[in-house]
């Protein structure tokens, strides 16, 4: 027995949650005074743990949403319109990632700031989308099950091999390209291991598409995600050590001793299960709009907090200098302010564009009229008449 399809409001809610967590997380991390960064303090420790869930959630939801839209379309391969849209989106995100790190001051000096070449979250997400599309195009002609299993295999492999590639230098590659694979040159996010979360998100989307039409799906999905998440959080290290003891493969032991990837994946699974369980309560238009404008929100927050091109952000004046009360009030105003600006812009985007277009047209007409009057005035001025008289005499 099947049920009708509905909009996946819980995905909007997760994206909105993730971007809000990112906003407050960056604000607090950049501006909180060092003396209050006490890991023995329960409140700060809890905040730090929750902040660590933001990036894994972002990458997982990226893989989920894009794969969901990609796989549900009837056309496959290059004929799937989501392929071209995804390529455009990926390139756009990568370009914004570089543009946000550009310093106009360095350009005026005839150089480029070194941080321009660092790979941050936008470049990593954009490249992950392109890589996901590439994998889809290679194996989509087989079947969706093969694609689903491939994404799961790649995700697990990336997580298990983290000790192997985590310390790579890659001197044989140009530094700009190497920055996508190693953080040794200053990159904040690298393709590995973060593409692994995109793969797991893609796998989840494929499962979701296959079984979501069944009435009991949500009940089993919530239970499975929640249970699997708890196992990953509390038992994945022990399971990895068990594999090591059974096989003697050292990589299981290495991952178990530094097991942040699987634990964070467990956090994401639990988060998904909670939002999925509360899916009927997530129908706010504001939440949907915030979840759909994550790129714009990220771009605006980067300018205001870090200064981007001009270097005149909040960090320029309040870097590591605010107390907890100031941080609490400031973070709330920051989140509300950024989201409000972006939402109001898109609400009145059409009117604003029409206003600016009309303003430029009128400005052009006024400039043209003014220039005509200036030229006429010059032609009849005393200086021009004297110049013409002298010129005629010389002839």
> pLDDT tens-digit profile of 272-297?
999 999 988 887 888 888 988 999 99
Residue 98 contacts residue 123 (beta carbons within 8 Å) = yes
Q: Is residue 378 part of a domain?
A: no
Bigger pLDDT: 198 or 288?
Answer: 198
What CA–CA distance (Å, rounded) separates 63 from 268? 13
Say how many domains are in the chain.
1
Question: Is 393 domain-assigned?
Answer: no
Would you say residue 217 has pLDDT above 60?
Answer: yes
Residues 56/268, Cβ–Cβ less than 8 Å: yes
State the burial class of residue 238 (Cβ atoms within 10 Å of its Cβ: 0-12, 13-18, 19+): exposed
Question: In this predicted structure, which of 45-54, 162-171, 297-306, 307-316 has the lowest mean pLDDT?
Answer: 162-171
Q: Does a structural domain hold residue 390?
A: no
pLDDT of 264 higher than 60: yes
Examine residue 395 and state whether it is found in any structural domain, yes or no.
no
- Stated as kind and residue range, the H or E segment containing 285 is helix 285-292
Domain membership flag for residue 344: yes
pLDDT of residue 354: 64
Q: Say what percent of the chain tops pLDDT 70.
A: 88
Q: Does residue 153 have a pLDDT over 70?
A: yes
What confidence category does residue 364 fall into, taking pLDDT thresholds of 50, 70 and 90? low
Both ends of the chain: CA-CA distance in Å? 101
Residue 377 belongs to a domain: no
Residue 384 lies in a domain: no
User: Is pLDDT at 6 greater than 60 in this prediction?
Assistant: no
Mean predicted confidence (pLDDT) in 371-390: 63
Rounded average pLDDT over 350-357: 64
Half-sphere exposure of 335 (CA within 13 A, CB side): 19
Share of the chain above pLDDT 90, in %: 65
pLDDT per residue over 44-85, tens digit each? 999 999 999 999 999 999 999 999 999 988 888 888 899 999
> In which domain, by residue range, is 49 found?
9-367
Closest CA to 11 of 63, 52, 50: 63
Q: Is it the case that residue 186 has pLDDT exceeding 50?
A: yes
- Kindly tell me if the per-residue pLDDT of 2 is higher than 60: no
Average pLDDT for residues 175-199, to the nearest whole number? 93
Higher pLDDT, 186 or 129: 129
């Amino acid at each position: 027995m099947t049920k009708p399809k509905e909009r996946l409001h819980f995905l909007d809610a997760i994206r909105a949650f993730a971007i809000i967590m990112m906003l407050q997380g960056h604000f607090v991390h950049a501006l909180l005074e060092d003396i209050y960064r006490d890991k023995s303090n329960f409140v700060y420790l809890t905040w730090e743990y929750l902040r660590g869930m933001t990036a894994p959630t972002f990458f997982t939801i990226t893989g989920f949403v894009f794969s969901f839209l990609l796989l549900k379309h009837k056309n496959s391969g290059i004929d799937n319109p989501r392929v071209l849209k995804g390529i455009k989106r990926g390139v756009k995100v990568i370009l914004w990632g570089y543009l946000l790190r550009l310093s106009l001051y360095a350009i005026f000096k005839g150089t480029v700031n070194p941080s321009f070449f660092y790979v941050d979250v936008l470049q990593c997400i954009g490249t992950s989308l392109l890589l996901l599309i590439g994998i889809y195009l290679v194996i989509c002609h087989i079947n969706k099950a093969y694609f689903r299993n491939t994404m799961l295999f790649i995700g697990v492999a990336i997580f298990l091999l983290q000790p192997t590639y985590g310390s790579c230098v890659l001197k044989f590659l140009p530094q700009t390209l190497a920055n996508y694979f190693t953080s040794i040159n200053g990159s904040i996010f690298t393709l590995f291991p973060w593409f692994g979360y995109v793969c797991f998100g893609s796998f989840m989307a494929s499962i979701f598409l296959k079984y979501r039409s069944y009435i009991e799906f949500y009940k089993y999905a919530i239970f499975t995600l929640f249970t699997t998440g708890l196992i990953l959080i509390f038992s994945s290290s022990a399971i990895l050590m068990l594999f090591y003891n059974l096989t003697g493969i050292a990589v299981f032991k290495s991952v178990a001793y530094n097991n942040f990837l699987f634990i964070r994946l467990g956090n994401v699974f639990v988060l998904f299960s909670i939002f999925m369980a509360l899916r009927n309560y997530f129908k706010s238009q504001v939440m949907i709009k915030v979840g759909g404008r994550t790129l714009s929100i990220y771009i605006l927050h980067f300018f205001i907090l870090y200064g981007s091109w001009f270097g005149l952000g909040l960090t320029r004046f309040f870097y590591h200098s605010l107390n907890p009360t100031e941080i609490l009030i400031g973070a709330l105003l920051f989140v509300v302010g950024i989201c409000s600006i972006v939402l109001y812009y898109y609400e009145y985007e059409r009117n604003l564009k029409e206003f600016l277009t009309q303003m430029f047209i009128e400005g052009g007409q006024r400039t043209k009229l003014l220039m005509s009057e200036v030229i006429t005035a010059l032609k009849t001025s005393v200086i021009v008449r004297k110049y013409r008289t002298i010129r005629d005499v010389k002839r």
